[in-house]
């Protein structure tokens, strides 16, 4: 019965609205005062039933909720036979709750869209080898699953057979389909655009990358900042205090009207709902734009940041070194083939860049490879002694570098790392290899500066020349080279001691200490586990251009929270003052303003869903 | 101890979360410190002792308060 009535709250609100309109029609048009009173009394009782039920439930678990205040107020209005007010107050309260639910659903929509992308069913292979549809919860690690065109990949797994193109936008934010074949990893929540795959489940449910992203966002939207916890504690005592105040006023003034008006005015609605609404809308906007914000504490901190510290490789730069300059000192066509043969033996990032640059060529057998630590490689190729490495290695090999000196100086000034090759102690090739700066980073950093960040610092393990060059090109305020991971975290510690609010931006692979140490750790990750765990903010798909949006968004969200607190507190103060010092205030107006202020803070929060950083 | 995740209809007033929290904490067999009512995601998370109370008892307690339970899971 209770459940039935509470389920029909919206219908009750509608009926009570009709009754109230009918009552006013009876009174003002047909001058049927008696009928009007009856209609209003019926509307009051009808409207009070669900509210009183909720109040009773609240009292049973020892909570003095808003429902309790409103129920007492309405009963009080009934006692002094003010049916007009009791009817209007109950209607406004029910109607307000309906509007709140509608608008709140909108603010939460962005995050809901994300969670609804979670796969629900899977085609699982049974003992007889056939595939049957099951709930995704029934899939265990090691199960073999079939994924058909258009279907969601149900779990994180590995492709056993078949091939196809998968849209991984839900994980990486990148919507260009990725080709998958045997042995490739696939992620839950991604969509197979064409082809058919058989996969084996590696991680299921909440353990999948997608499951963890959802978990993280869900936790984030309900995580509470210090201010919010204060408001919660405050609200816990505030409502009983209002009840007590009303009772005291009643005893002192013997004025029931005044006492019940205080009950309605004191409802703390907008105050307790204002901050969570801004929070959920801000985090929802982030989730839509590839920015994961881990909670409202992060939003508050990040909005006040004054120093951004960047890791260079993979953050400001692409992270894939490329051959940018090349100079040859003899015409021997086989030289490059020798070079490719030697570099093919190595896993060193520079070697990979060289091999990629030369491309397909004849590969000679490489004999007697000798890796010189901090120098390069010496090997026997096609009967020649080939050395590939830095200047120090060339000196060691007694290679004459005189004719190449100007080139070496120029290549270094361009921010290159140098790779040289000698064949039988004669210099043949000089290459400058450098990491390209991510496209658009310069503009993004300008935008970050305009948002009020004063210090932009780059820390890198590279030599100072390279780092300075990057800093100049990007307009950074400080650049430090030769930094090991522990130097980076010391540096951040020092900044914090000077009173700066520091955000560290890194790829989360080898700089997790710095990520954890900075007030705000920002990971540029393609949804990698480490990045998700250690950081406060994750930029999906390693997209640097989302950083200014993230910063602007947190600033807007923090501002929005403050506005909502001011609106909520302001409304309560104005209402309470006017109840004592003016004569226009009554219960109905109080309820109207109260419900109105709740809607205002929700609508204000909703603006964040549309937030976009101005270019 | 089992972990329960209960999805509710949309919660609209923060005082609802307090009601649900107090109700869940008052149940025998529910670990009081583990009860977490998430307002925005409208979820309840808690640990409970499966020997003393069933998931159904917990969801029933919440439904009697007037909140519809959409989905409940324990593991």
Given this model, what pLDDT does residue A309 score?
Answer: 92
Best probe of the B interface among A222, A266, A605, by most B CBs < 10 A, is: A222
DSSP A343-365: HTT---HHHHHHHHHH-S-----
- Could you give the CA distance from residue A282 to residue A217 in angstroms, rounded to a whole number? 11
Given this model, what pLDDT does residue A140 score?
Answer: 86
Look-up of token digits 């963890």: A212
Question: In this complex, do B13 and A104 lie within 8 Å of one another by their Cβ atoms?
Answer: no
Question: In this complex, do B43 and A218 lie within 8 Å of one another by their Cβ atoms?
Answer: yes
DSSP A570-586: HHHHHHHHHHHH-SS--
- CB proximity list for A33: less than 8 A, separation 6 or greater: A26, A27
Q: Which residues of chain A are modeled with pLDDT < 70? A: 1-3, 6, 172-175, 225, 227, 268, 313-314, 319, 508-510, 525-532, 615
What chain A residue is nearest to B36 in terms of C-alpha separation?
A222
B45 inside 8 A of chain A by CB: no
- Residues in chain A within 8 Å Cβ distance of B38: 218-219, 221-222
**Helix boundaries (H) for chain B:** 14-25, 55-64
| Pairing of the two strands B43-48 and B36-38 | antiparallel
Distance in Å, alpha carbon of B51 to nearest chain A alpha carbon = 24
- Residues in chain A within 8 Å Cβ distance of B15: 58, 63, 65-67, 235, 239, 272
- Could you give the CA distance from residue A432 to residue A428 in angstroms, rounded to a whole number? 14
Q: What is the per-residue pLDDT across A543-555, written as a single tens digit (0 to 9) for each?
A: 788 899 999 999 9
pLDDT, averaged in runs of 10, over chain B (75 residues): 86 77 87 85 88 88 84 81
In this structure, what token pair is assigned to residue A491? 């540096």
Q: Helix, strand, coil % (nearest 5) of chain A?
A: 55, 20, 25
Q: What is the per-residue pLDDT across A370-391, written as a single tens digit (0 to 9) for each?
A: 887 777 888 888 888 889 888 8
Question: In this complex, do B14 and A65 lie within 8 Å of one another by their Cβ atoms?
Answer: no
CB A71 within 8 A of CB A44: no
* Per annotation, catalytic residue among A67, A143, A301, A311: A311
Given this model, what pLDDT does residue A174 score?
Answer: 62
Q: What is the per-residue pLDDT across A264-298, written as a single tens digit (0 to 9) for each?
A: 887 767 777 888 888 888 988 988 888 888 888 88
- The SS3 call for residue A549 is helix
Element containing residue A210 per DSSP (H, E): helix A209-222
What chain B residue is nearest to A51 in terms of C-alpha separation?
B66
Best probe of the A interface among B4, B13, B26, by most A CBs < 10 A, is: B13
Best probe of the B interface among A9, A10, A57, by most B CBs < 10 A, is: A57
Longest CA pairwise span in chain A (Å)? 116
CB A282 within 8 A of CB A553: yes
Buried b (16+ CB within 10 A) or exposed e, A138-174: ebeeebbbbbeeebbbbbbbebeebebebbbbbbbbb
Q: Which CATH topology does B2-74 take?
A: Alpha-Beta Plaits (3.30.70)
pLDDT averaged over every residue in chain A: 83
Q: What is the per-residue pLDDT across A106-160, written as a single tens digit (0 to 9) for each?
A: 777 777 777 777 888 888 888 888 888 888 888 888 888 888 888 888 888 899 8
Q: What is the DSSP letter of A509?
A: S
Give A581: exposed, middle or buried? Use CB within 10 Å, 0-12, 13-18, 19+: exposed
Given this model, what pLDDT does residue A600 score?
Answer: 92
In this structure, what token pair is assigned to residue A300? 């508050």
Active site residue A311: yes
Question: In this complex, do A62 and B22 lie within 8 Å of one another by their Cβ atoms?
Answer: yes
Given this model, what pLDDT does residue A307 score?
Answer: 93
Given this model, what pLDDT does residue A334 score?
Answer: 82
Given this model, what pLDDT does residue A152 score?
Answer: 87
- Residues in chain B within 8 Å Cβ distance of A3: 63-64, 66
- Could you give the CA distance from residue A591 to residue A585 in angstroms, rounded to a whole number? 10
- Residues in chain B within 8 Å Cβ distance of A6: 66
Q: What is the per-residue pLDDT across A556-609, written as a single tens digit (0 to 9) for each?
A: 999 999 999 899 888 888 887 887 787 777 788 888 888 888 889 999 998 998
CB B45 within 8 A of CB B38: yes
CB A264 within 8 A of CB A242: no
Question: In this complex, do A58 and B41 lie within 8 Å of one another by their Cβ atoms?
Answer: no
CB A495 within 8 A of CB A309: yes
Residues on chain A bordering chain B, Cβ-to-Cβ distance under 8 angstroms: 2-3, 6-7, 53-54, 57-58, 61-63, 65-67, 97, 100-101, 104-105, 108, 111, 137, 218-219, 221-222, 232, 235-236, 239, 269, 272-273, 276, 279-280
Which of A58, A61, A65 lies at the smallest CB-CB distance from B26? Answer: A61
Given this model, what pLDDT does residue A527 score?
Answer: 47
């Amino acid at each position: 019965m209770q459940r039935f009535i509470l389920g029909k709250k919206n219908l009750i609100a509608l009926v009570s609205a009709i009754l109230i309109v009918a009552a006013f029609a009876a009174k003002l048009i047909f001058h049927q005062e008696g009928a009007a009173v009856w209609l209003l009394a019926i509307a009051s009782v009808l409207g009070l039933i669900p509210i009183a039920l909720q109040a009773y439930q609240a009292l049973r678990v020892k909570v003095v909720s808003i429902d309790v205040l409103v129920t007492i107020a309405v009963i009080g209005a009934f006692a002094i036979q003010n049916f007009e007010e009791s009817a209007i107050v109950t209607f406004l309260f029910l109607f307000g709750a309906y509007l709140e639910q509608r608008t709140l659903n909108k603010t939460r929509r962005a995050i809901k869209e994300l969670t609804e992308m979670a796969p629900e069913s899977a085609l699982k292979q049974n003992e007889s080898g056939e595939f049957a549809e099951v709930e995704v919860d029934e899939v265990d690690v090691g199960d073999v699953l079939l994924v058909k065109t258009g279907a969601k990949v149900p779990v994180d797994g590995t492709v056993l057979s078949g091939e196809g193109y998968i849209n991984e936008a839900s994980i990486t934010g990148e919507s260009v389909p990725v080709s998958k074949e045997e042995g490739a990893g696939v992620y839950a929540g991604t969509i197979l655009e064409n082809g058919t795959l058989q996969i084996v489940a590696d991680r299921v449910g909440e353990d999948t990358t997608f499951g963890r992203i959802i978990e993280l966002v869900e936790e984030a939207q309900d995580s509470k900042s210090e201010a919010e916890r204060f408001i919660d504690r405050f609200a816990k005592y505030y409502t009983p205090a209002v009840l007590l105040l009303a009772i005291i006023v009643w005893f002192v003034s013997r004025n029931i009207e005044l006492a019940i008006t205080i009950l309605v005015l004191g409802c703390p609605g907008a105050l307790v709902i204002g901050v969570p609404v801004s929070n959920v809308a801000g985090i929802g906007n982030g989730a839509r734009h590839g920015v994961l914000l881990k909670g409202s504490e992060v939003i508050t901190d990040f909005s006040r940041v004054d120093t951004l510290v960047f890791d260079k490789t993979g953050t400001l730069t692409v992270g894939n070194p490329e051959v940018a300059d090349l100079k040859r000192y003899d015409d021997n066509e086989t030289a490059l083939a020798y070079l490719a043969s030697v570099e093919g033996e190595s896993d060193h990032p520079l070697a990979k860049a060289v091999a990629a640059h030369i491309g397909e060529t004849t590969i000679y057998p490489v004999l007697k490879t000798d890796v010189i630590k901090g120098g390069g490689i010496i090997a026997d190729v096609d009967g020649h002694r080939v050395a590939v490495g830095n200047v120090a290695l060339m000196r060691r090999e007694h290679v004459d570098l005189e004719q190449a000196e100007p080139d070496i100086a120029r290549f270094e000034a361009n921010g290159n790392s140098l790779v040289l090759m000698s064949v039988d102690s004669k210099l043949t090739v000089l290459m400058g290899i450098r990491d390209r700066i991510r496209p658009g980073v310069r503009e993004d950093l300008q935008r970050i500066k305009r948002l009020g960040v004063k210090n932009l610092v780059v820390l890198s393990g590279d030599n100072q020349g390279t780092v300075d060059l990057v800093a100049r090109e990007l307009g950074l305020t400080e650049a430090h080279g030769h930094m090991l991971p522990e130097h980076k975290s010391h540096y951040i510690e020092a900044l914090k001691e000077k009173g700066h609010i520091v955000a560290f931006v890194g790829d989360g692979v080898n700089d997790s200490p710095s990520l954890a140490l900075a007030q705000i750790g920002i990971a540029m990750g393609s949804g990698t586990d480490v990045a998700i765990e250690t950081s406060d903010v994750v930029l999906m798909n390693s997209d640097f251009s989302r950083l200014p949006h993230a910063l602007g968004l947190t600033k807007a969200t923090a501002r929005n929270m403050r506005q909502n607190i001011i609106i909520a507190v302001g409304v309560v103060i104005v209402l309470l003052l006017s109840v004592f010092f003016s004569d226009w205030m009554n219960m109905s107006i109080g309820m109207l303003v109260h419900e109105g202020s709740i809607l205002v803070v929700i609508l204000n929060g909703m603006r964040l869903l549309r937030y976009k950083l101005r270019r | 101890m089992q972990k329960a995740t209960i999805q509710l209809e949309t919660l609209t007033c923060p005082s609802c979360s307090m009601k649900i929290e107090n109700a869940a904490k008052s149940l025998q067999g529910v670990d009081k410190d583990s009860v977490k009512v998430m307002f925005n995601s409208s979820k309840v998370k808690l640990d409970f002792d499966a020997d003393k109370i069933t998931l159904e008892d917990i969801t029933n307690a919440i439904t009697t308060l007037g909140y519809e339970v959409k989905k409940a899971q324990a593991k």
